[in-house]
Structure 1
Amino acid sequence: MVCALPSISCCTISSLTIEKRQSLQSSPKSSLGTLETQLLHKFNSVSELKIVHSLLIKSGTPLSELPLSRVASVCALTPSFLYAQRIFQQVGQPEIVTWNCCLRDFAESDTPFNAILLFHQLQRHNVCPDSFTCSFVLKACVKLMDLSHGRIIHALVVKLGLLVNLVLQNVILHLYASCGEMSDAILLFDKMSQRDIVTWNTMITQLVKRGDIASAYKMFSEMPDRNLRSWTAMIAGFVRCRKPKKAIDIFKEMEQVGLKPNEATVVAVLSACADLGALDLGSRLHDYSNKSGFKANVLICNTLIDMYIKCGCLEAAKDVFEGMKKRTVVSWSAMIQGLALHGNADEAFGLFFRMTQAGVNPNGVTFIGLLNACSHMGLVNKGRAFFARMTNDFAITPGIEHYGCMVDLLSRAGLLQEACEFIKEMPIKPNAAVWGALLGGCKVHKNVEMAEVAMRHLHELDPHNDGYYVVLANTYSEAKKWEDAARVRKLMRERGLKKTYGWSSITVDGLVHEFVAGDESHSQSEEIFEKWKQLLVPLRLKGYVPNTSVVLLDMEEDEKEKYLFRHSEKLAVVFGLINLAPRETVRIFKNLRVCEDCHAAFKLLSEIVKREILVRDRSRFHCFKDGSCSCKDYW
Structure 2
Amino acid sequence: MAMYSTMQIAGVSPDSFTFLYVLKACSGLPAFETGWQVQGQIFRHGFHSDVLVQNSLVALYAKCGQIGYARMVFDGLYDRTVVSWTSIISGYAQNGEPSEALRIFSEMRTCNLKPDGIALVSVLRAYTDVEDVEQGKSVHSCVIKMGFEYEPDLLISLTTLYAKCGQVTVARSFFNQMEIPSVILWNAMISGYAKNGFAEEAVGLFREMISKDIRVDSITLSSAILACAQVGSLELARWMDDYVIKSDYRDDVFVKTALIDMYAKSGSVDLARIVFDRTLDKDVVVWSAMIMGYGLHGRGRDAIDLYYAMKQGSICPNDVTFVGLLTACTHSGLVDEGWELFHRMRDYGIEPRHQHYACVVDLLGRAGRLDQAYDFITNMPIEPGVSVWGALLSASKIYRHVTLGELAAEQLFLLDPHNTGHYVQLSNLYASARKWDQVGRVRLLMKEKGLSKDFGYSLIEIKGKLQAFRVGDKSHPKYKEIFKELEELERRLKEAGFVPHAESVLHDLNYEETEETLCNHSERLAIAYGLISTSPGTTLRITKNLRACVNCHAATKLISKLVNREIVVRDANRFHHFKDGFCSCGDYW
* Corresponding residue of 1:305: 260
Cα 1:122/1:558, change in 2 over 3 Å: closer
Q: Determine the C-alpha separation between the residues in 2 that align with 1:103 and 1:455.
A: 54
In structure 2, the partner of 1:8 is none
Check if 1:609 corresponds to 2:563.
Answer: yes
Deviation at 1:600, TM superposition (A): 1.5
Asked if 1:200 corresponds to 2:155, the answer is yes
Change over 3 Å in CA distance of 1:246–1:505 after alignment to 2:
same
Match 1:175 to one of 89, 100, 122: 122
What is the Cα deviation at residue 620 of structure 1? Answer: 1.3
Amino acid at match of 1:417: D
Q: What displacement does 1:96 show?
A: 8.2
Match of 2:468, SS state, is strand
Q: CA deviation at 1:422?
A: 1.2
Residue pairs, 1:46-61, within 5 angstroms: 61=11
Task: Pick the aligned partner of 1:330 from 253, 275, 285.
Answer: 285
Tell me the CA shift for residue 448 of structure 1. Answer: 1.8
The amino acid that maps onto 2:516 is K
Q: Is the 8 A contact 1:113 1:140 kept in 2?
A: no
Distance 1:41 1:523, change over 3 A: same
Matched, 1:84 2:45: yes
Q: Alignment identity in percent?
A: 36
Alpha-carbon distance in 1 for matches of 2:562, 2:112: 76
State the Cα distance separating 1:545 from its structure 2 match. Answer: 2.2
How far 1:190 sits from its partner (Å)? 0.9
Query: Which residue does 1:544 correspond to in 2?
Result: 498
SS, match of residue 632 in structure 1: coil
- SS of residue paired to 2:45: helix
1:524-560 per-residue CA deviation (whole Å, 9 max, x = no partner) reads 2111101111223333333222222311222221221
CA contact (8 A) 1:404 1:437 kept: yes
In the alignment, which residue of structure 1 is the partner of 2:300? 345
Question: Aligned-pair distance for 1:458?
Answer: 1.9
Question: Which residue is equivalent to 1:292?
Answer: 247
2:540 is aligned with 1:579: no
Q: Is the 8 A contact 1:312 1:616 kept in 2?
A: yes
SS in 2 for 1:215: helix
Aligned ranges 1:586-625 → 2 under 5 Å: 586-625=540-579
Q: Look up the match of 1:633.
A: 587
Cα distance in 1, alignment partners of residues 47 and 554 from structure 2: 88
Residue number in structure 2 paired with 1:140 = 91
Task: Give a deviation string over 1:327-372, Cα, whole Å, max 9, x none.
Answer: 1211111111211221211111100001111111111111111111
**In 2: Cα distance, 1:234 partner to 1:439 partner:** 38
Determine which of 324, 329, 337 is the counterpart of 1:374.
329
Equivalent of residue 556 in structure 1, options 510, 516, 525: 510
Looking at structure 1, the residues matched to 413 and 58 of structure 2 have their Cα atoms a distance apart, in angstroms, of 56
- Distance change in 2, residues 1:329/1:99 (3 Å): same
The amino acid that maps onto 2:237 is: G
Counterpart CA distance in 1 for 2:125 and 2:581 is 55
| Structure-2 separation of matches of 1:464 and 1:252 | 38
Task: Label 1:174 to 1:558 Cα distance change in 2 as closer, same or farther (>3 A).
Answer: same
Residue deviations 1:179-228, cap 9 Å, x none? 32524521232135463432211111123334443432332344454333
CA distance in 2, matches of 1:103, 1:495: 53
Contact 2:89-2:105 at 8 Å conserved across structures: yes
Q: Is the 8 A contact 1:103 1:115 kept in 2?
A: yes
CA offset at residue 291 of structure 1?
0.6
Task: Say if 1:73 and 1:566 are closer, same or farther in 2 by CA, change over 3 A.
Answer: closer
The structure 1 residue matched to 2:168, chosen from 205, 213, 221, is 213
In structure 2, C-alpha distance between the alignment counterparts of 1:630 and 1:277, rounded to whole Å: 19
Structure 1 SS opposite 2:91: helix
Residue 389 (1) aligns with residue 344 (2): yes
Q: In 2 relative to 1, CA 84–423 (structure 1 residues): closer, same or farther, beyond 3 Å?
A: same
Structure 2: gaps (5+ residues):
27-33, 128-134
Equivalent in 371, 380, 390 of residue 426 of structure 1:
380
Q: Aligned letter for 1:438?
A: L
**TM-score normalized by the length of structure 1:** 0.81
AA matched with 1:430: P
Match of 2:197 among 239, 242, 265: 242
Q: Which one has the largest radius of gyration? A: 1
- Partners of 2:246 and 2:161 lie apart in 1 by 32
Tell me by how many angstroms 1:277 deviates.
0.3
* Corresponding residue SS for 2:451: coil
Indicate conservation of the 8 Å contact 2:461/2:540, yes or no: no
Structure-2 change in CA distance of 1:434 and 1:136 (3 Å): closer
Q: How far apart, in 2, do the equivalents of 1:570 and 1:341 lie? A: 22
Tell me the CA shift for residue 260 of structure 1.
5.5
1:252-287 per-residue CA deviation (whole Å, 9 max, x = no partner) reads 444555545432222111111112202222221211
Q: Return closer, same or farther for 1:633/1:118 CA change in 2, 3 Å cut-off.
A: closer
Aligned to 1:491: 445
Count, aligned residues: 563
Supply the distance in 1 between the matched residues of 2:247 and 2:154 (Cα, whole angstroms). 30
Could you say if the C-alpha distance between residues 555 and 149 of structure 1 is closer, same or farther in structure 2, counting changes exceeding 3 Å? closer
Partner SS for 1:480? coil
**Counterpart in 2 of 1:189?**
143
Residues of 1 paired with 2:221 and 2:69: CA distance? Answer: 37
Verify the 8 A CA contact 2:568 2:578 in the aligned structure 1: yes
State the secondary structure of the residue aligned to 1:513.
Answer: strand
Larger deviation, residues 540-549 vs 296-305 = 540-549
Alignment correspondent of 1:355: 310
Amino acid at match of 2:193: F
Q: Is the 8 A contact 1:587 1:615 kept in 2?
A: yes
1:79-112 C-alpha deviation (Å, 9 max, x unpaired): x856414899xxxxxx888767655533321224
Which whole-Å CA distance do the structure 2 matches of 1:74 and 1:445 have between them?
67
CA distance in 1, matches of 2:496, 2:443: 38
The aligned amino acid for 1:398 is P
Cα distance in 2 for partners of 1:495, 1:599 equals: 32
- Give the conservation status (yes or no) of the 8 Å contact 1:274–1:307: yes
1:477 aligns with 2:428: no
SS at match of 1:377: coil
Give the TM-score taking structure 2 as reference length: 0.86
Q: Tell me the CA shift for residue 468 of structure 1.
A: 1.6
Secondary structure of 2:331's counterpart equals: helix
Give the drift of 1:77.
5.8
Structure 1 counterpart SS, 2:66: coil
Return closer, same or farther for 1:190/1:540 CA change in 2, 3 Å cut-off. same
Is the Cα–Cα contact under 8 Å of residues 374 and 383 in structure 1 kept in the other structure?
A: yes
Q: Match of 1:402?
A: 356
The letter for the 2-side match of 1:234 is M
State the one-letter code of the partner of 1:565.
Answer: C
